[in-house]
Structure 1
């Protein structure tokens, strides 16, 4: 493995930071396209390396990046490029991913700011070494609307004519019963999600509850009730995934999705370094 070479950045260039690590392979970095046309390279600081790329100053202001990331195609390209660099570096050893569009006005400014946070980066790298992130999402199964009442909507009027009063009361009672059943299903799903999270934490080094994602109109799954990230020892992957399978068999109150293993993005920040359990 070649020793990393810190190339001289062009004049008037900002510095984009992908990831912090302890070791890099310059051959690997040279093959990564990154986000701009300049080479992906290593920036040494305080016994660590930041994997960076130069961004022309004219393209590095806040408005330029707001416009860039507002374009869905450009956002997807940047996310994929960022993740590609992080994944390649993490394959060489523990890595602390930086957030998308982490920019400093110059290389010197990047070195100063990152250096001031070196102790935390060392702690994060110690924490994630030999560990991976798994994501578990759980959803309330979508239930069909009863008697055409769509999501529990009460009808504007009841049938007219002989016997209408009794028919209307029966119809409204069915609607109320459907409301009660849906509410009980929701409460059962929330209880099951808490139990699932507690069980999975027992197989993880650390865990985080992430913000629940809104349900899209075209999503046939029900409302999301769990969005968890779990930091797991690499050699305990089989036991963790088996725990998820056990949960799937044990409860019909949830639809459970497992994703990973990932670079520990959710545990690279301040909260992750402390171990949010």
Structure 2
């Protein structure tokens, strides 16, 4: 009964997007956030400032959020709106982004909870100030001699007659002998050995790329590589890493990656600069 009452339907919550230093309070005009009912505003936290927005609590109940998780377009809309606010703030000052749908039932609760984390926020802000996150992905080259695994392209096993049931003496004379079988198995072993060598070479390239990029990065994180077929991509990913790089070294990073592409011949993707989500710790 209570959840359907007018009072419950009008209840609000405080949505928190990010935290920055108080002396870097950003301009928020024109940034909509996850709702257009209320404007974005700042919430003073002593030497820090939180970027917040008042939202209708009914839109963020567990039930409402579970429905949203099952609605991919709607979930993407919220994620983009959240990231839009974080990006707008980060473009003006060092910013610690908070996870999607960080909410508090009242402002005093938000002030208390965020205030308790002030030391961690300050440490994160110190770490990411004037730095950006960049992603680097390395892909293994195509396996030499790989026919794609299609059964129709594989050679028939030795001893397979061309026309079953009609073998003649001439067919018998043409039927492969033991030597052909050994040659077939040898070819398969050689193909497997080449694939294994290529895998080892690709992993060595990945380590080289990571080592070279780490020399100019302030911090790095190795992420789990995506498997083949992720998002329609059938390449084999051997490195999926993210790096925290000083803003003044971004051009140096781009030149380094281009040099690594040429020197290794590997498929290397560079993305960024991004808000350093990966380097703000568990805040």
TM-score tier (shorter) = 0.7 to 0.9
State the match for 1:84 in structure 2.
84
Shift in alpha-carbon separation, 1:220–1:89, aligned structure 2, 3 A: closer
CA contact (8 A) 1:146 1:175 kept: no
State the match for 2:274 in structure 1.
262
1:219 and 1:144 map into 2 onto residues whose CA distance is 22
CA contact (8 A) 2:15 2:55 kept: yes
CA contact (8 A) 2:13 2:103 kept: yes
CA contact (8 A) 1:201 1:207 kept: yes
For residue 179 of structure 1, the aligned residue among 187, 192, 195 is: 192
**Partner-residue secondary structure (3-state), 1:32:** coil
Deviations 1:211-240 (A, max 9, x none): 222332664452211111111111111212
Look at both structures and tell me which one has the larger radius of gyration over its CA atoms: 2
Offset, 1:206: 1.1
Offset, 1:46: 2.7
For the pair 1:130 / 2:130, whether they are aligned, the reply is yes
State the match for 2:18 in structure 1.
19
2:76 and 2:130 map into 1 onto residues whose CA distance is 29
**Partner-residue secondary structure (3-state), 2:270:** strand
Offset, 1:145: 6.3
State the match for 2:32 in structure 1.
33
2:15 and 2:227 map into 1 onto residues whose CA distance is 31
2:177 and 2:75 map into 1 onto residues whose CA distance is 57
For residue 223 of structure 2, the aligned residue among 210, 218, 243 is: 210
Shift in alpha-carbon separation, 1:145–1:101, aligned structure 2, 3 A: farther
1:204 and 1:96 map into 2 onto residues whose CA distance is 19
The normalised TM-score by structure 2 is: 0.82
The normalised TM-score by structure 1 is: 0.83
Deviations 1:95-119 (A, max 9, x none): 1111222222332222211110011
CA contact (8 A) 1:142 1:220 kept: no
Shift in alpha-carbon separation, 1:123–1:101, aligned structure 2, 3 A: same
1:172 and 1:238 map into 2 onto residues whose CA distance is 51
Shift in alpha-carbon separation, 1:81–1:144, aligned structure 2, 3 A: farther
2:130 and 2:231 map into 1 onto residues whose CA distance is 38
For residue 232 of structure 1, the aligned residue among 238, 245, 259 is: 245
**Partner-residue secondary structure (3-state), 1:211:** coil
CA contact (8 A) 1:209 1:228 kept: yes
Question: Where do 1:1-277 residues align within 5 Å?
Answer: 12-22=11-21, 23-25=24-26, 28-37=27-36, 38-143=38-143, 146=146, 149-150=149-150, 158-161=158-161, 162-163=175-176, 165-216=178-229, 219-252=232-265, 254-270=266-282
**Where in structure 1 are there 5+ consecutive unaligned residues?**
1-9
